[in-house]
A and B are shown apart, each in its own frame.
Chain A
Amino acid sequence: GAGVSQSPSNKVTEKGKDVELRCDPISGHTALYWYRQRLGQGLEFLIYFQGNSAPDKSGLPSDRFSAERTGESVSTLTIQRTQQEDSAVYLCASSLQGFYGYTFGSGTRLTVV
């Protein structure tokens, strides 16, 4: 597609439930990133995929968070046993290589009630 697509755009879930957030990067982009943005704050790095290299998971806040990427296409961010502090907008970005041409999706707004 023309841009980075994220789904769902909004998700409301009950505390303790698992959620899956999806990101479809721009076709041909080898790099894919997940960020979290809490209300009124900047973006917090979560995880980075580059081609077939091992992902950089250094930003994942706890073992409840995990992400996968199939080749150089779709990525899924999974949050297990959601907590209220997980409420945020989760943004995905992709690029051809590294930080050049970083393009963000519109994000998934997650609300844990």
Chain B
Amino acid sequence: GESVGLHLPTLSVQEGDNSIINCAYSNSASDYFIWYKQESGKGPQFIIDIRSNMDKRQGQRVTVLLNKTVKHLSLQIAATQPGDSAVYFCAENLGAGGTSYGKLTFGQGTILTVHP
């Protein structure tokens, strides 16, 4: 059967390098974006979020950049560690109010592998 896992983008880095994971979102009306980390056998875990009125937001070792012109989102991880190895998903929300409120649309995900 189809091995859908091979369709996921992958990123391999050395420990200590900086990682950049990219995401193209679908809807220009989306006003809120979140990055999630998912380790094997676990549910997605919140990393960082950003509203559409911002271009950049920083957390601990992570930075999210938003380019609304080209509908592009990126997650930068500084000094990547082996514990950062996981699948990373971006998610978008179409905005408060109406039937879309609270419903996130997820990207396909990127597999990050950090080599010691």
Chain A contacts with B in 20-46, Cβ cutoff 8 A: 31, 33, 35, 38-45
Residues of B within 8 A of A (CB): 3-8, 32, 34, 41-46, 89, 91, 93, 96, 99, 101-109
Q: Which residues of B contact A44 (CB under 8 A)?
A: 106
Q: Which residues of A contact B102 (CB under 8 A)?
A: 31, 33, 48, 50, 95, 97-99
Chain B nearest CB, measured from A75 CB (Å): 14
A110 at the interface (CB under 8 A from B): no
A58 at the interface (CB under 8 A from B): yes
Chain A nearest CB, measured from B107 CB (Å): 6
Check B103–A40 contact: CB distance below 8 A.
no
Question: Of A11-19, A65-73, A100-108, which stretch is located at the interface?
Answer: A100-108
Q: Which residues of A contact B34 (CB under 8 A)?
A: 99, 102
Check A42–B99 contact: CB distance below 8 A.
no
Residues of A within 8 A of B (CB): 4, 31, 33, 35, 38-45, 48, 50, 56, 58-59, 91, 93, 95, 97-99, 102-107
Chain A nearest CB, measured from B30 CB (Å): 11
7 A–B contacts, CB within 8 A, in A order: A38-B4, A42-B106, A45-B103, A99-B32, A99-B93, A99-B103, A107-B42
Q: Which residues of B contact A103 (CB under 8 A)?
A: 46
Chain B nearest CB, measured from A33 CB (Å): 7
Measured CA separation A42–B92 after assembly (Å): 12
Q: Which residue of A lies closest to B46 (CB)?
A: A102
Chain A nearest CB, measured from B48 CB (Å): 13
Check A107–B4 contact: CB distance below 8 A.
no
Q: Which residue of B lies closest to A59 (CB)?
A: B103
The 9 closest A-B pairs by CB, nearest first: A104-B43, A40-B5, A98-B102, A42-B106, A43-B106, A40-B4, A42-B108, A106-B43, A104-B44
Q: Which residue of B lies closest to A38 (CB)?
A: B4
Q: Which residue of A lies closest to B96 (CB)?
A: A98
Measured CA separation A59–B96 after assembly (Å): 18
Q: Which residue of B lies closest to A42 (CB)?
A: B106
Measured CA separation A99–B49 after assembly (Å): 11
Measured CA separation A50–B41 after assembly (Å): 27
Measured CA separation A40–B87 after assembly (Å): 9
